[in-house]
Structure 1
Amino acid sequence: MIKDFGAGVALLLRGFRLVFSSPKRVLVGALPAVITAVLMITGWVLLFVHIDSVAEWLTGFADSWSETGRKVVEVAVGISVIAVTLGLSVLLFTAITLMIGGPFYEYIAEEVEDELGGVHEAEQVGWWRGFVVGLRGTVLLVGVSVLFAVPLFFCGFIPVVGQTVVPVLAALVNGYLLGIELTGIPFTRRGKSFRERRKLLATRRSMVLGFAVPAYLLCLIPLAALIVIPAAMAGGTVLAHRLLTAERSAASGG
């Protein structure tokens, strides 16, 4: 497990080397991320401006409480809303970036896989197909993330646990979901479905976590996603290539 986790971290580092070895890859990967960043920053500004109103609306049940009690709950709920939104934002940022920049990231994936030996009879994803596949995957992944976010949201009110265990669990869950997103294009190029992708990645969950959790945490740094996403896309391509090659070898008895 630890060895696989370390191998996953190495894949992310390799993704950085692959992207930054070519200025063109850096520019190609950063352009869709810049567009998405503008959209996400706008959304974040709106959330921060109206967070008091949002927290007040969510804590309507505390209207009859004392002033101090109501304020404490409002602050706690406001912080939790920001934390949950932040976690979802990384997934949404990646998903929107991949949908907007489908051809850009397919270019990176093709170049990376060409260096790894290429993909025989690879399918061209294209912008529209990549958008539809990405949208479907995003809806499913964000839905799963919300299912986990709701209980984690309430666990956040538990003293000590809410400030220690909950953030770690949130990073693991959202990181793993991010890993599923980042391997979408290599799987789609081989005609693999979302279900097949999820099933294969689950066989090396520790490796996926080692790759995706650091990428997720780096994306929490403001604007870092502009360079992290292209690198993580390259690393995800290497991860997918490795797992799919192993699966094909096992199927052929090699």
Structure 2
Amino acid sequence: MRELATGARYLMQGQRWVAQHGRLYAFCLLPALIALVLYVALLVLLAFQAGDLAVWATPFADDWSGAPRNLLRLGFVVLLLAVGLMVAILTFTAVTLLIGDPFYESLSEKVEESEGGLPDGPDLPWWRELWTSLTDSLYVLMRALALALPLFLLGFVPLVGQTIVPALGFAVSGFFLTLELTSVAMQRRGIDVRTRLRMLRARKGLALGFGVPLAATFLVPVVAVFLMPGAVAGATLLVRDLTGEAGSGNRPEQGETTAGY
């Protein structure tokens, strides 16, 4: 529970940090706004095409009577839209970080400087950093989908789908959101995505405390836009904790522990 509270506190500290740096905060809203417009357009397009896709995917039902055929294709449309929404939630952060790489890199550096200075790390050309961000995001997405899709299918199981599955879904989404958001500060230290995953697995409570509240708020797209800069700032503070660099202002209070799980 202490680790969960510590993770949530880093999230709040990140939001407070950007609130105190209004000009930088406004500057860093642009990538999330661009990503939001892109995702809304794609989801609207999917909604308009879902009926035609359902007909295309179920040719075997052409000879069925009206009610069973319509019920099958309606179910396919609902499933398709739900999968589209799930993929949008899982990829929104990654796409926003890719679009806004220079924005969030600058923001994260400012946070590091305010907390004691930038760490030593590899000096890579911008194109190499962008390629690393893209491949890391694809890796994270594949790992997230490997867990999210079975949970989605279990969601149709009575009782389990309405109780256990949503809780597990938020936990999975929250953990991978934390994994994605820490990429900015982790790459600065030359820490690859697999090592990052191991570090967060060792501190699951910290990762979940940071990511689960964020995943819940990211269900509302407009809220996600306004929270993204603070989420990047908070993730930077969390990385400084993971690597033992946390400034005195961000260490857990006396009596708390940051021991790994």
Amino acid across the alignment from 2:197: R
Aligned partners of 1:224, 1:236: CA distance in 2, in Å? 17
Measured at CA, do residues 86 and 212 of structure 1 come closer, stay the same or move farther in structure 2, by a change above 3 Å? same
Aligned partners of 1:103, 1:32: CA distance in 2, in Å? 10
Deviation at 1:145, TM superposition (A): 2.2
Q: Equivalent residue of 1:48, what SS?
A: helix
1:102·1:130 contact (CA, 8 Å) conserved in 2? no
TM-score with structure 1 setting the length: 0.87
Measured at CA, do residues 102 and 73 of structure 1 come closer, stay the same or move farther in structure 2, by a change above 3 Å? same
Q: What is the 5 A alignment of 1:136-155?
A: 136-155=135-154
Q: What is the 5 A alignment of 1:80-119?
A: 80-119=79-118
2:18·2:24 contact (CA, 8 Å) conserved in 1? yes
Deviation at 1:50, TM superposition (A): 1.6
Deviation readout 1:158-190 (Å, 9 max, x if unpaired): 122223322222221122111101000111111
Deviation readout 1:194-249 (Å, 9 max, x if unpaired): 111111111111110111111122111032221111111111111111111169xx
Aligned partners of 2:131, 2:30: CA distance in 1, in Å? 20
Aligned partners of 2:14, 2:160: CA distance in 1, in Å? 34
Aligned partners of 2:58, 2:160: CA distance in 1, in Å? 22
- Residue number in structure 2 paired with 1:13: 12
Q: Equivalent residue of 2:119, what SS?
A: coil
Amino acid across the alignment from 2:188: R
Deviation at 1:134, TM superposition (A): 1.6
Deviation at 1:67, TM superposition (A): 3.9
2:36·2:221 contact (CA, 8 Å) conserved in 1? no
Work out the number of aligned pairs and report it. 246
2:148·2:172 contact (CA, 8 Å) conserved in 1? no
Aligned partners of 2:180, 2:202: CA distance in 1, in Å? 16
* Structure 1: stretches of 5+ with no match in the other structure: 248-254
Measured at CA, do residues 171 and 52 of structure 1 come closer, stay the same or move farther in structure 2, by a change above 3 Å? farther
Residue 46, structure 1, aligned to residue 45, structure 2: yes
Deviation at 1:146, TM superposition (A): 2.1
Q: What is the 5 A alignment of 1:136-215?
A: 136-215=135-214
Aligned partners of 2:218, 2:106: CA distance in 1, in Å? 22
Aligned partners of 1:25, 1:125: CA distance in 2, in Å? 24
Q: What is the 5 A alignment of 1:241-252?
A: 241-245=240-244
- Residue number in structure 2 paired with 1:219: 218
Q: Equivalent residue of 2:243, what SS?
A: helix
1:76·1:157 contact (CA, 8 Å) conserved in 2? no
1:187·1:240 contact (CA, 8 Å) conserved in 2? yes
Measured at CA, do residues 76 and 132 of structure 1 come closer, stay the same or move farther in structure 2, by a change above 3 Å? same
1:6·1:210 contact (CA, 8 Å) conserved in 2? yes
Amino acid across the alignment from 2:118: V
Aligned partners of 2:162, 2:77: CA distance in 1, in Å? 15
Amino acid across the alignment from 1:7: T
Aligned partners of 2:82, 2:129: CA distance in 1, in Å? 29
Identical-pair percentage? 36
Q: Equivalent residue of 1:158, what SS?
A: coil
Aligned partners of 2:177, 2:226: CA distance in 1, in Å? 16
- Residue number in structure 1 paired with 2:257: none
1:156·1:163 contact (CA, 8 Å) conserved in 2? yes
Range with greater deviation from structure 2 (157-166 or 170-179): 157-166
Deviation readout 1:53-94 (Å, 9 max, x if unpaired): 334445556556654444444334433332332222123221
